[in-house]
């Protein structure tokens, strides 16, 4: 079932979102300061390509916490609020609930990507 869901996800926008995040990651990796943020964008691109059947495990160190705080101030809060709003809109219909839950998973990851692992 997750294979079919991932194929539908890719067809209906997952490939575009994943490509967007990969390009943003490449742009951020141009500067030395942006490399940590660029690698997190690659994490988003990876999750956006095949979100069904994957979980995000949170953990990390003090350095991860400090980078997450900086991430929230620059990118995370805006990204999380938009993802949460879109996820809740998807959940209004029965057919859209699986897509909404994946979008909410993305919203949680967008708040604290440093130290998180996708399994």
Question: In angstroms, what CA-CA distances link 32 with 5, 28, 38, 62, 75?
Answer: 37, 8, 10, 21, 18
52 has pLDDT over 90 = yes
pLDDT digit string (tens) for 69-109? 999 998 889 889 998 999 899 999 998 899 999 999 999 99
Residue 110: strand, helix, or coil: helix
| Domain containing residue 15 | 2-118
Number of domains in the chain: 1
pLDDT digit string (tens) for 7-37? 989 988 889 889 999 999 999 999 899 999 9
pTM of structure: 0.82
């Amino acid at each position: 079932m997750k294979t079919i869901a991932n194929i539908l996800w890719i067809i209906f926008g997952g490939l575009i979102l994943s490509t967007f995040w990969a390009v943003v990651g490449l742009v951020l990796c141009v500067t030395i300061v942006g490399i940590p943020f660029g690698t997190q964008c690659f994490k988003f691109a990876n999750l956006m390509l095949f979100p069904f059947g994957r979980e995000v495990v949170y953990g990390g160190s003090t350095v991860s916490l400090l980078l997450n705080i900086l991430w929230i101030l620059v990118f995370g809060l805006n990204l999380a609020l938009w993802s949460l709003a879109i996820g809740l809109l998807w959940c209004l219909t029965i057919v859209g609930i699986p897509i909404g839950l994946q979008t909410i998973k993305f919203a949680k990851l967008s708040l604290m990507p440093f130290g998180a692992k996708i399994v």
